[in-house]
């Protein structure tokens, strides 16, 4: 996010008029360890830094460190919950949040972080996630069945058009649920969900794709047999990284890939037991159990004809 001078000035006023020097410095240290306001401003250690100067310097340093969103998140938390047992009403918060919204950044109440407005832009990390920080996600994994054989059998034009159709189906299903494609390799990919009821959104997106695939295979498929796609959903807590190779080492992502490859039939969706326990009975009634071992069941959804 680009922090313009107007927004930076408003944040500095909020600090200067709402917090004393000591509390301001502690807030800065939440984001920049061992932050020293005297060293940063050039004031001698024996001279207190005026609050206005301190606030302006803190905002400038935090902006330079690309931690401005986190600063405002802390101020919202202090405004709502206080700090060290004391209430600190933070001035200008409403104006700050409104100005950030005008720049395409909105506050997510559930996760208590600022994220990009999906109506304005859609980036892989929702404009908010930081490398090496832990977050809880739900993942939708999908893979085309028999990709190698298909590539050998059909012309490049047919393959590219067919796989492009799948990508469009996936994109349409996840966009309305604020999902993000983290990896796409032509024959399948990985979609992440982070907000609200993420397990539900990932599951319903997968069900939506199953429905779209059925209609596609009936009406549009260019192949001489239905396009087969396996889908799986699993979720958990993991460390975020912009590096795809590091993400693949996550146990959560390894598990969703394992569920897709080992426990899922073509054009069906399998969800983990961890995801299933978070879903409403009305959703789960559409799934049937898939035995993993004596203690664990996954759950599978597919379109089945009435007998």
Is the confidence at residue 307, as pLDDT, over 60?
A: no
Sequence-ordered list of residues with C-beta below 8 angstroms from that of 22, at least 6 positions apart, any chain: none
Count each helix (H run) and each strand (E run) in the chain, helices first: 13, 9
Question: What is the pLDDT at residue 83?
Answer: 92
pLDDT category, 24, cuts 50, 70, 90?
A: very high
Question: What is the pLDDT at residue 13?
Answer: 97
Question: What is the pLDDT at residue 304?
Answer: 72
Question: What is the pLDDT at residue 117?
Answer: 87
Looking at the DSSP bridge assignments, the partners of residue 188 are 143
Question: What is the pLDDT at residue 175?
Answer: 92
Question: What is the pLDDT at residue 118?
Answer: 83
Q: How many of the other CB atoms lie within 10 Å of CB of 221?
A: 15
Is the confidence at residue 272, as pLDDT, over 70?
A: yes
**Is 132 exposed, middle or buried, given 0-12, 13-18 or 19+ CB atoms closer than 10 A?**
exposed
Question: What is the pLDDT at residue 15?
Answer: 97
Average pLDDT for 170-176: 95
Sequence-ordered list of residues with C-beta below 8 angstroms from that of 71, at least 6 positions apart, any chain: 11, 27, 31, 59, 62
Question: What is the pLDDT at residue 305?
Answer: 62
Q: How many of the other CB atoms lie within 10 Å of CB of 185?
A: 11
Q: What percent of the chain has pLDDT over 90?
A: 82
Largest CA distance in the chain: 86
Is the confidence at residue 194, as pLDDT, over 80?
A: yes
Is the confidence at residue 222, as pLDDT, over 60?
A: yes
Average pLDDT for 152-163: 96
pLDDT category, 163, cuts 50, 70, 90?
A: very high
Is the confidence at residue 234, as pLDDT, over 80?
A: yes
Q: How many angstroms separate the CA atoms of 146 and 148, rounded? A: 6
Average pLDDT for 2-16: 95
> Would you list the DSSP string of 60-82?
HHHHHTT-HHHHHHHHHHHHHH-
Q: Classify 134-301 by CATH class.
A: alpha beta
Condensed to tens digits (0 to 9), the pLDDT of residues 113-154 reads 898 888 888 888 998 888 898 999 999 999 999 999 999 999
Question: What is the pLDDT at residue 306?
Answer: 57
Helical axes 21-31 vs 68-81, angle rounded to 10°: 130
Average pLDDT for 217-241: 96
The ranges assigned to domains in the chain are 5-103, 134-301
Average pLDDT for 25-35: 95
Average pLDDT for 214-241: 96
pLDDT category, 50, cuts 50, 70, 90?
A: very high
Tokens matching residue 262: 């080992």
Question: What is the pLDDT at residue 120?
Answer: 85
Tokens matching residue 192: 């992440």
């Amino acid at each position: 996010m680009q922090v313009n001078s107007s927004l930076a000035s408003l944040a500095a006023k909020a600090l200067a008029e709402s917090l004393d020097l000591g509390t301001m410095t502690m807030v800065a240290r939440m984001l920049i360890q061992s932050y020293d306001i005297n060293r940063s401003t050039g004031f001698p250690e024996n001279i207190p830094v005026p609050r206005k100067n301190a606030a302006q310097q803190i905002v400038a340093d935090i902006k330079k460190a690309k931690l401005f969103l986190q600063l405002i998140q802390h101020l919202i938390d202090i405004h709502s919950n206080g700090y060290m047992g004391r209430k600190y009403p933070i001035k200008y918060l409403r104006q700050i949040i409104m100005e950030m919204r005008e720049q395409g950044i909105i506050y997510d109440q559930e996760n208590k972080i600022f994220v990009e407005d999906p109506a304005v832009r859609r980036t892989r990390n929702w404009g908010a996630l930081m490398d090496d920080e832990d977050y809880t996600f739900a993942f939708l994994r999908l893979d085309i069945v028999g990709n190698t054989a298909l590539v050998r059998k059909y012309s490049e034009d047919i393959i590219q058009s067919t796989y492009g159709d799948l990508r469009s189906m996936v994109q349409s299903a996840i966009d309305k649920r604020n999902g993000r494609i983290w990896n796409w390799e032509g024959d399948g990919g990985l979609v992440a969900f982070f907000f609200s009821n993420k397990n539900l959104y990932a599951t319903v997106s997968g069900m939506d794709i199953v429905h779209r695939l059925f209609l596609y295979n009936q009406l549009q498929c260019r192949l001489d047999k239905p396009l087969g796609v396996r889908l799986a959903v699993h979720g958990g807590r993991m460390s975020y990284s912009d590096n795809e190779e590091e993400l693949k080492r996550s146990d959560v992502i390894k598990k969703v890939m394992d569920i897709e490859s080992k426990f899922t039939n073509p054009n069906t969706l399998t969800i983990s037991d961890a995801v299933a326990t978070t879903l409403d009975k009305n959703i789960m009634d559409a799934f049937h159990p898939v035995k993993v071992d004596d203690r664990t069941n996954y759950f599978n959804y597919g379109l089945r004809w009435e007998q």
